[in-house]
Amino acid sequence: MSVSDVVRVRPRRIRLVCWVSAILLVVVFALIATTLTGSTGNGYGTFQRGDQFAMIGLGVLFALGTLLFTRPRVEADLRGVRVRNIVGSYELPWEVVRGVRFDRGAPWAALELHDDDLLPVVALQAADKQFAVDGVRALRRLHQAHLAAVTERSAR
């Protein structure tokens, strides 16, 4: 198997947006935490050091939640395709894949399976434009190479 027989794709634009957003979330929550001092003004209590740490902790948790959207990726070779979406991962042999779809207006590509199921491939997002199109074409080439190899084996 040569290097060109392996496809690895991760989305580009969403990763940039998520990392910037995560950093901003931590900074904003840290700034809010520094302003939490003294009494609440209505006589019900005062903000303490623990409240400030809790706000920073919330910022970190929200940032980590945002970074979940950087998780998608797809890897494929002549044996099969591995898809990791935001929630869930799948490893499929090419035998169960009917085709690779990227319908007009769809937010991301999908694998069409022989059981008429569609498996979204969030790593190939329309927002990435030509990068996503190139990824879909590379997956289609690998799928076609697998089909050709199966046809050749069955012809023997």
111-138 per-residue burial string, b: 16 or more CB within 10 A, e: under 16: beeeeeeebbbbbbbbebeeebeebbeb
The burial of 146, by beta-carbon neighbours within 10 Å (0-12 exposed, 13-18 middle, 19 or more buried), is given as buried
DSSP state of 46: B
Task: Please indicate, yes or no, whether residues 90 and 34 belong to a single structural domain of this protein.
Answer: no
Number of folded domains in the chain? 2
pLDDT at 46 over 90: no
Per the model's pLDDT, the better-predicted residue between 145 and 40 turns out to be: 145
Residue 100 confidence class, pLDDT cut points 50, 70, 90:
very high
Q: How many CB atoms lie within 10 A of CB 95?
A: 11
| Domain-terminating residue out of 69, 97, 116 | 69
pLDDT of 114 > 80? The answer is yes
3 lies in some domain: no
1-5, 86-90, 127-131: least confidently modelled range: 1-5
* Angstrom distance (rounded) from CA 20 to CA 15: 9
Q: Are 19 and 89 in contact (CB under 8 A)?
A: no
* pTM score of the predicted model: 0.79
Among residues 44, 69, 94, the one where a domain terminates is: 69
Residues 54/29, Cβ–Cβ less than 8 Å: no
Q: Extract the tokens encoding 22.
A: 């995560």
Domain region containing 60: 13-69
CA 102/CA 48 separation, integer angstroms: 53
Residue 56 located in a structural domain: yes
Q: Is the pLDDT reported for residue 20 higher than 60?
A: yes
Phi first, then psi: give them for residue 11, nearest 5 degrees.
-65, 150
